[in-house]
Amino acid sequence: VRALTFDGTVVLRDVPPPTLAPGDALVAVRLAGICGTDLEITRGYKGYRGTLGHEFVGEVLHCPSAPQWEGRRVVGEINLSCGTCERCTTGLRNHCATRRVLGILDHPGCFAEQLVLPATNLHAVPDAITDEHAVFTEPLAAAFRIFEQVPLTTAVHVAVIGDGKLGLLVVMALRARGIPVTAIGRHPRKLALVAGPGVRTTTTDTLPPERFDVIVEATGSRDALALALALVRPRGTVVLKSTVHGTVELPTAPLVVDEIHLVGSRCGPFDVALAAMADGTVDPRPLIDARYPLAQGEEALAHARRPGTLKVLLEGPPESCWRREDIYGDDGR
């Protein structure tokens, strides 16, 4: 099957068809999203080699252990946990020490015609939302993760630093919950996508004078932590969303003196993200800047790398291709 792979350089090539372990589902990729993490991987993040990509919506082709999934439109959680270790059995599946991660760690990703995930990772996509919504489920879930970590009410003063894809999704998630938010970015075009009732937008040139209870740092940049610390009030909270390759120099004294909470934040609840899109409180589609067929995957990644670009999507092959039985075995399924 065709796949966009990274082994020091990004190459579109044919890879062997995926094989199913017990409990696995074979999924045809309908649409995939290019994320900042994918770009970081092509700069060396995690040392990952293999098929890229972890944001997708697809259709289940084959699932011997749970055939009720076959033919359903799905999104999938990206962490493949062992299910039996102490972390897995105490509610920390996403932190399983031996986990693999779709397109990030020891498991081929979704920038391919097909992918494999355990059926337990799948979530059905409600009919009310399009593929263009659903492909945002993974990053939108990551945005909703902050509600599980930080007590947020309409009385909390929140600012989001970063007007990239994830920053804007965090603003959308806050807006969906009726929480007033200040969105701080560098690009008026992008900030305009989330402007509206309950959202104040400002560029880094005209920073607000006040300090905030909660700062969400979602710039994807190494330098933004200092700005976050400058904007948070004493005993406030800084939520870190950026995964950058490399290290950040951090003066720790202000953290101690101001008693700042630093909260790392990663994967979030898919069901919450799907529900927010299904009921219309979040519509991420304005973030789509371009779409390319998988066959032009290299160009798509190059486009996504251009400064100022928001979401670039990769289209899987048309249904008429992957519905042919010869692609996935000779049992006619």
Residues binding Zn ion (CB under 5 A): 35, 37, 81-82, 85, 88, 96
Question: 85 vs 302, which CB is nearer to Zn ion?
Answer: 85
* Cβ at position 147, least distance to Zn ion in Å: 18
* Cβ at position 49, least distance to Zn ion in Å: 18
Secondary structure of 149-187 as H, E, C letters = HCCCCCCCCEEEECCCHHHHHHHHHHHHCCCCEEEEECC
* Cβ at position 152, least distance to Zn ion in Å: 22
Question: 81 vs 242, which CB is nearer to Zn ion?
Answer: 81
Q: Do 80 and 121 contact (CB within 8 A), yes or no?
A: yes
Q: Alpha carbon 224 to chain centroid distance?
A: 20
* Cβ at position 187, least distance to Zn ion in Å: 20
Residue 332 has φ and ψ, to the nearest 5°, of 80, 0
Single out the residue of 205, 198, 166, 169 nearest to residue 184, CA to CA. Answer: 205
How far is 168 from 173, CA to CA, in rounded Å? 9
Question: 24 vs 213, which CB is nearer to Zn ion?
Answer: 24
Question: 37 vs 121, which CB is nearer to Zn ion?
Answer: 37
Cα 135 to Cα 138, 165, 286, 289, 314: the distances in Å are 7, 13, 13, 14, 10
Q: What's the one-letter identity of residue 182?
A: T
Question: 10 vs 232, which CB is nearer to Zn ion?
Answer: 10
* Cβ at position 38, least distance to Zn ion in Å: 7
* Cβ at position 10, least distance to Zn ion in Å: 16
How far is 200 from 195, CA to CA, in rounded Å? 7
Question: 5 vs 37, which CB is nearer to Zn ion?
Answer: 37
